[in-house]
Amino acid sequence: MTDSTAPERSRSLPPGPPYPRALQTLGWMRRPGPFLERCRERYGDTFTLRIAHEDCWIVLSDPDVVKEVFTGNPATLHAGEANAILRPLLGDQSVLLLDDEAHLVKRKLMLPSFHGERMERYGELMREIAEREIASWPRQQTLALLPQMQALTLEVIMRAVFGVDRGPRLDRLRALLRRLLDYTMDPRTLVPLVLLGPERLAFIPQLRRVFDQVDLALHEEIAQRRQEPGLAERDDVLSLLLEARYDDGTGMSDQELRDQLMTLLVAGHETTATALSWAIERLVRHPDKLQRLRDDVAAGSNEYVDAVAKETLRLRPVIPIVVRQLVEPMEIGGWALPAGIRVAPCIHLIHRRPDIYPEPARFRPERFLESPPGTYTWIPFGGGIRRCLGASFALFEMQVVLGAIVTHARLRAPVSAGERVRRRAITWTPSRGAEVLVEADDARAPNERTAATQPQAAEAVSA
Ligand code: HEM
């Protein structure tokens, strides 16, 4: 790690809090949103933070400057290197951790699985899983939705990735993944993460044991699938990846496959579950919006549910920043930045700009009915050639699941105060896990009960 406190270098960096790294880390960990907002007020749209074992972050919250990063040369702006914190979990070959040619090649192989017609075929599956899950929710009591949403989105991504839902190997893998994620996302894990750094985290014996078990389960699944006939006819992601070929005719090794599967399973479910939980947390505190959503879905439209998903991801982005590491010096936003520094387009701050989003703290899905999101002003999925590979899949899943929830359950806020943002490792989640009061089924008006039994318009929902 370079000495970011060297006086000649700090002079060339944008201003930032003058207090010690430990205090900045505390602000970032405890109340990240207000901390970032205070920094912007004090130091402007571009400022420097010093967080834990990370080198300096140059936080960016001007869309024009963010555009410079997202459209900049990927050979200079390395995302893989900047995502090193995820290496122990995802593995060296993960598309999230690679840069340059290796990244592009893997991304190209994976992209088709999550786009267009192929992705829309998951709609029926998503709705089925959502309806089954909703039917199991206990009525007339308070329920934290986040764990329910995690179970639901894990099921969706596992079915999309492996193509089947039954079998002892997958049941075991499902249970192991939950254990692994509960452990790695636990805010208490942040303490060793901050103290040890990501590379050494994997050597904690308790964590190592779960990692090893998950690895074994994934390798067993890959080996089994390799031997199965008719791979070309299957359309699950694992089969597609097994069939995919690089330009030289070779396929992915088992280790590469393991890392991509792990990446999709982790990136694909915790994030979407959190976004869904926030959507409900906001909706139950805005009964007029909830009612409008219910009416719109019952009328077979997907317009409002799309706006709700987008507004939720604006106001409560699951991931607050994305990071790129400069491989060589680069001028960004008028600052001549040295190699080695990390630039961080700040999703949270961009989404809170009053010049782009009037009354930015207000939950108002209508704003996305009035004008579509901008490429550099609505960035919950990051941007450029690193933009989230599952963005369409996630938006589609949010639409289908929210549609199913408002059709099949009556929810209320148990208390009027909204939930605060709580950090679960790298995601920002509702502090009480999105608690809702699930009313008895007969709390619905008779005409709504009839509507709920009608086939929904999810086929028409497009991402
Ligand atoms: C609401 C849900 C989701 C959110 C908020 C989200 C957010 C993000 C963000 C912020 C990035 C980094 C982008 C950047 O560095 O510019 C990312 C990358 C990625 N996401 Fe998502 N994601 C979500 C769902 C998913 C799903 C469902 C999948 C898989 C099915 C997925 C797979 C990935 C992958 C593979 C990458 C790495 C892309 C690359 O480096 O080329 N994500 N996501």
- State the CATH number of the domain containing residue 14: 1.10.630.10
pLDDT at 177 over 90: no
pLDDT level of residue 10 (50, 70, 90 thresholds): very low
Say what the alpha-carbon torsion angle 140, 144, 149, 150 is, to the nearest 10 degrees.
-140
**What is the per-residue pLDDT for 183?**
74
90 half-sphere exposure, CB direction, 13 A CA radius: 20
State which amino acid sits at residue 74: P
Is 43 a member of any domain?
yes
Q: Which residue has the tokens 């996630």?
A: 394
Which atom of ligand 1 is closest in space to residue 264's alpha carbon?
Answer: 29
Task: Identify which of 206, 226, 207, 228 has the alpha carbon closest to the alpha carbon of residue 218.
Answer: 226
Minimum CA distance residue for ligand 1 atom 1: 272
Nearest CA to ligand 1 atom 6: 381
**Rounded-to-integer distance, Cα 104 and Cα 99, Å:** 8
Residue nearest to atom 43 of ligand 1 (CA): 388
Question: Taking 60 as the threshold, does the pLDDT of residue 9 lie above it?
Answer: no
In this structure, the number of other CB atoms found within 10 A of the CB of residue 166 comes to 7
Residue whose Cα lies nearest atom 11 of ligand 1: it is 388
Intra-chain end-to-end CA distance of the chain, in Å: 42
Distance 114 CA to ligand 1 centre (A): 11
- 90-144 pLDDT, tens per residue? 889 999 999 999 999 999 888 888 877 777 778 988 999 999 999 999 999 999 9
* CB-based contact 252:241 (threshold 8 Å): yes
Which pLDDT tens digit goes with each residue over 271-325? 999 999 999 999 999 999 999 999 999 999 999 999 999 999 999 999 999 999 9
Which amino acid type is present at position 255?
A: Q
Q: Is 116 left (phi over 0), alpha (psi -120 to 50) or beta?
A: left
**Residue 317's domain spans which residues?**
7-460
Confidence band, pLDDT 50/70/90 cuts, at residue 200: low
Distinct helix (H) and strand (E) counts, the chain: 22, 12
In a domain, 434, yes or no: yes
Query: Which of 323, 388, 427 maximizes ligand 1 atoms within 8 Å of its Cβ, making it the mutation to test the pocket?
Result: 388
Model pLDDT, residue 1: 36
2 part of a folded domain: no
Residue closest via CA to ligand 1's atom 42 equals 390
* CA 192 – ligand 1 centroid, Å: 25
- Ligand 1, from 159, 381, 400: best to mutate by most atoms within 8 Å of Cβ? 381
| Total tally of structural domains belonging to the chain | 1
- Closest C-alpha residue for ligand 1 atom 27: 268
Q: Are 404 and 135 within 8 A, CB to CB?
A: no
Burial of residue 3 (CB within 10 Å: 0-12, 13-18, 19+) is exposed
User: Could you tell me the distance, in angstroms and rounded to a whole number, from the CA of residue 228 to the centre of ligand 1?
Assistant: 30
Distance 104 CA to ligand 1 centre (A): 15
Q: Is 417 helix (H, G, I), strand (E, B) or coil?
A: coil
User: Which residues are near ligand 1 (CB < 6 Å)?
Assistant: 79, 95-96, 107, 114, 263-264, 267-268, 271-272, 275, 318-319, 322, 380-383, 386-390, 393-394
pLDDT of residue 55: 75
Residue 31 burial (10 A CB sphere; 0-12, 13-18, 19+): middle
Please check the confidence at residue 7 and state whether its pLDDT lies above 50: no
How far is the C-alpha of 420 from the C-alpha of 417, rounded, in Å? 9
**Ordered alpha helix ranges (H), 236-319:** 237-243, 254-283, 287-298, 303-315
* pLDDT, position 86: 81
The CA 42 to ligand 1 mean position distance, Å, reads 31
CA atoms lying within 13 Å on the CB side of residue 102:
15
Calpha distance 209→75 (Å, rounded)? 36
Q: Is the pLDDT of residue 152 over 50?
A: yes
Q: Find the 295 Cα to ligand 1 centroid distance in Å.
A: 31
SS3 of residue 49 by DSSP: strand
Residue 28, token pair as written in the block: 């970032």
Which of 160, 90, 87, 154 minimizes the C-alpha distance to 118?
160
Distance 386 CA to ligand 1 centre (A): 8
The verdict on residue 228 lying in a domain is yes
What is the model's pTM?
Answer: 0.90
Number of CB atoms found within 10 A of residue 86's CB: 20
Greater confidence (404 vs 236) lies with 404
**What is the distance between the alpha carbons of residues 402 and 164, in angstroms, rounded to a whole number?**
24
